[in-house]
Structure 1
Amino acid sequence: MGASSSQALPTIVPSAVRVLTLDDLRAQAARPVNFGGDAPVGLALNPEIVAMLEEVSRQNLIAYVRQLESFGTRNTFSAIDQPDFGIGAARDWILSEMTRVGGGRLQVSFQDYPMAFEGVSNTQRNVVGVLPGTG
């Protein structure tokens, strides 16, 4: 090992992942499963969950990832005061987006907490969304 005390971060190599679709889940649920009993059991999909899954947009998810990529870095010690770069810009955008999609029902705020790492201390922020219940 060299004279440097810092270690290089591992390189993440992207790989193809097969994404299950709602049709895949329906096909799985249609297959009987034998749990060791007398007869195979058919699995049922919860219609409320199916309805929620049908509202998920692959295009929106890709757009969210691309927007987060556009901030250059989300390193916790990166810029917090630049509108288009760093962790501050990313968390401001997340707060704005959660407020928008919450439609007035979602209570969105920052949660501050202290952080210290290798002698550097600062205040970090999580973005938190709370959907109040009725009981």
Structure 2
Amino acid sequence: MSLDAVLDIVAAVCLISGALLSLAAGVALVRFPDLLTRMHAAAKPQVLGLLLVLLGCGLRLRTGVDITTLVLIGVFQLATAPVAAHMVGRAGYPHGEIRSDLLLTDELAAHLDRLTDEAPTPTPTTPHRP
């Protein structure tokens, strides 16, 4: 068996595994009960699935420009997904989107009054009429 055939098999395994992880993350976003578990599903398995897909693509394409582009995509995903998940969690906490019965420690409970002061109050909007 040649090296190209082995790399193609590894690429196929990475692509299928990454696609299944991304599918599981999408299903979890719909099925999980509260914000924190959905936030976890949106960040961790989705990022790992994307990295596996990128690895599979890199093993299959094997050109310098393509691999550089795939590495940049992976780095940006690793940099932005945790920040986005953190911001979603911080935005949902003051609005009661968190199931506190599932938390072992609620470190933000002492700061809830400060968080609710920072949260924008909803303003009534008038429908746009053409």
TM-score scaled by length of structure 2: 0.29
Larger Rg: 1
Please state which structure has a larger fraction of its residues in strand: 1
Q: Which has the higher contact order (CA 8 A, sep 6+)?
A: 2
